[in-house]
Chain A
Amino acid sequence: MSNPVPPSEADHASQGTSAKPLLSRRDVLKIGVATLTVTAISQLVISGPFSAESVQGLQREDDHIADGTKYQWHMVIDLSRCIGCQYCVWACQATNDVPDEDMRWNVVFPEQTEVGVSFYMNRPCQHCQEAPCVRVCPVGATWVRSDGIVMMDYDRCIGCRYCQVACPYDVRRFNWRTVTEPNPYAPNWGSPEVPRRPRGVVEKCTFCVHRIDRGLEQGLTPGVDRAATPACVVACPVNARIFGNILDEESPVSRYLREHDTFRLREEWGTQPKVHYVRPTGNQG
């Protein structure tokens, strides 16, 4: 500070005349471009679109169980059978440990068609093949498994909630708080089979994927054997929900789809849901 001739002065003078600058503009450009290229290439290979994970189309570790060439899981909900008893809702809350009523993964509520037929609308995750939520997730924390189930990775989710904004069926629930209360539906409606999710991540219906994977390992048939079938399907007292593998022509779900007229919610959106509905007739309960 107290130097009679500060170094800056000298430097400035030398740069102003003929001495070579530290780096020329061309050098800086070169360094910049080289750094960007190296970063981009290394990222592409480590975790980007050319990584093993992405080349396989957002597939994950557990995909070896989920062989999409053998299994495609679909659900039929027969709205002409549903009596609105809420058993499926409670079984889901117990099994997937969702004590908060506002966070239900699977909802059943009274509804009327446009011509005035009363029925109970059911809505689990639609497990869209072209899922809007999957496309938008900035970290790939949600993906369509090869057997068609829309998965969630709670360890990767950053809680930006773009998937909630993208999902037109309102199936996704955010953990606004740490849910600490005991589960009022356990053990009467089942026991929690998956860990509770932490605050700050999004969750949703999984088609009870843990039951499917464990069942297949044990040689059971999801949709037929109760232990390998989603809790809501098992709990229904009137068999309004039918689940199974549509690649197996003799599965309950394939037979039901063959024998009934079904529709899917808002097919014109191009989401290709894997939940099919049978129209309400107004004759139930």
Chain B
Amino acid sequence: MLQAITYRLTHRPLQIWLISLSITFVIGLIAMVIVLFQGLQVTHLSDRVPWGLWITLDLSAIALGAGAFTFSAAVYIFRIRSLEILVRPAVFIGFLGYTSAMLVLAMDIGRPDRFWHPLVYWNVHSVLWEVTWCVVLYSMVLMLEVLGVLGESRLGKRWERLRRLGHLAHRMTPFLAILGMGLSLLHQSSLGATYGVLSGRAIWYKPSMPIMFIISAIAGGMSLTMLATMIVGRLRHQRYLPPSVCIGVTKAIGFITLGYLYIKIWDWAVTNYYSHNPDMANMLERLNVTTPYSATFWGIEVVLSGLAPALILLLPNLCERRDLAMLALAAIVFGVIVNRWNVTLSGLVAPPAWSPGVLGNPVAVSYAPSLVELLVTLGILSYALLGFTLGVRYLDLYPRHVRHAADD
């Protein structure tokens, strides 16, 4: 009896994986219900730090979903046909990312019942209004693109109507790719501008914010799509990417990451090294007293998740060393998340000094997410992983069998 159970558990890893994810997803759902009933008092957010873990998750999910528009544009606008195999997983990951983001936003706003207000009550001067519109419209684009995927999957073979709808959606693909690229270039950047436009918070207030956000999103989104593809390939003993495609994409990510670092370093040099902004210096000083901000900025964002993976991804024979490639891609994905956390918290934890006396008395506010915040985050991550696993299994995101002439 016991032997039978242990045999099952050790020989059916997919079942264990799905069951554990379902459990954490249900735990997350319970936490979400608690948030809806109790309100945001169950978080450790405060009037000084009103944005925290959930905004980080929201920003990361959207940034890492950028693979969808990047690969769609590459294939359907720039006609790089060899990347077509990456479009379906990219679009599906994007869909999971954007639905995760909207789910966590519904938790994070104080009045989820008024989620539709930005669509009806307009403030065109608000960068967040523009973000909301773009995210809503782009989610519709992603839904149509996923509909195309559904129609071509085994579900489409079962339900004729789905197949026809999918076919219709698929026919709009070039139009969707153009629309998706436009919307993404807008809101991926404006999410950075959300911080960049705030004149009172010196550490954020700079025009480089939107540019750094879009570039890091493209690198992170491409990395996540590649990483997911390589993980699935490893588990199924398949090589979905011909070596030339693998090398091309990893090289592209490497160069994009280097470009991002170039802008990031100059952004730092201009605002911190070659000039002196008293507010920024003061905020940084206070941040470094209570948080590992500079350590994570240089150690993780710049070196471990920036320069190191970028150089690895530019190695000539990288795609023969898949573990190293996956490690580098994972590092870039991790770096995007750390960056979104650092950006969000840095401007809040060291609030601007407005009182004539505060300048001489540095203060910093502390924030660490509450259990409910962590559980909701866990639930949403489980949703995304569960969705991806089921998608791979039932929606034919990847072809069943592939064989490349130059491979194996």
Contact = CB atoms under 8 A, between A and B. Distances in A.
Contacts of A111: 355-358
A190 interface: no
Interface residues on chain B, size class: 35 or more
A147 interface: no
A199 B110 contact: yes
A169 B48 CA distance: 10
Nearest to A12: B163
Contacts of A135: 125-126, 197
B175 A32 contact: yes
Interface in A161-187: 161-162, 164-170, 172-178
B171 A156 contact: no
Interface residues on chain A, size class: 35 or more
B168 A28 contact: yes
Nearest to B117: A139
A165 B52 CA distance: 11
A200 B200 contact: no
Interface stretch (B93-101, B289-297, B344-352): B344-352
B117 A170 contact: no
Interface in A85-115: 102-103, 111-114
A44 to B, nearest CB: 9
Contacts of A174: 40, 47, 50, 110
Nearest to B278: A268
Interface in B82-132: 108-111, 114-115, 117-118, 120-129, 131-132
Given A102-B47, A159-B109, A121 B200 contact: no
Contact of B347 (A160, A165, A172): A165
A281 to B, nearest CB: 13
A178 B38 CA distance: 9
A111 B357 CA distance: 6
A115 B110 CA distance: 42
A277 B356 CA distance: 10
B242 to A, nearest CB: 28
B39 interface: yes
A165 B39 CA distance: 19
A266 interface: yes
A247 interface: no
B160 interface: yes
Most buried by B among A8, A54, A165, A178: A165
B20 to A, nearest CB: 33
B41 interface: yes
Interface string A193-209: 00000011110000000
A119 B160 CA distance: 77
B14 interface: no
Contacts of A164: 47, 50
A7 B160 contact: yes
A22 interface: yes
A200 B39 contact: yes
A47 B168 CA distance: 32
B359 interface: yes
A28 B172 contact: yes
Contacts of A257: none
Interface of B: 38-41, 45, 47-48, 50-51, 108-111, 114-115, 117-118, 120-129, 131-132, 157, 160, 163-164, 168, 171-172, 174-175, 179, 194, 197-201, 347-348, 351-352, 354-361
Interface of A: 6-8, 11, 21-23, 25, 28-29, 32, 43, 47-49, 51, 54, 58, 102-103, 111-114, 119, 121, 123, 132, 135-141, 156-162, 164-170, 172-178, 199-202, 265-266, 269-271, 277, 280
27 contacts: A11-B164, A22-B164, A28-B168, A32-B175, A47-B122, A114-B359, A114-B360, A121-B357, A123-B355, A132-B198, A135-B125, A138-B118, A138-B132, A139-B114, A141-B117, A156-B121, A157-B110, A157-B111, A158-B111, A159-B110, A161-B50, A161-B51, A166-B200, A265-B356, A266-B352, A266-B354, A270-B199
Going nearest first, the 8 A-B pairs with the smallest beta carbon separation are A159-B110, A168-B200, A200-B110, A111-B357, A140-B123, A161-B50, A138-B129, A138-B128
Given A176-B41, A200-B39, 14 more contacts: A22-B168, A23-B171, A25-B172, A113-B357, A119-B357, A136-B198, A138-B118, A158-B114, A159-B114, A162-B194, A168-B198, A202-B110, A265-B355, A266-B200
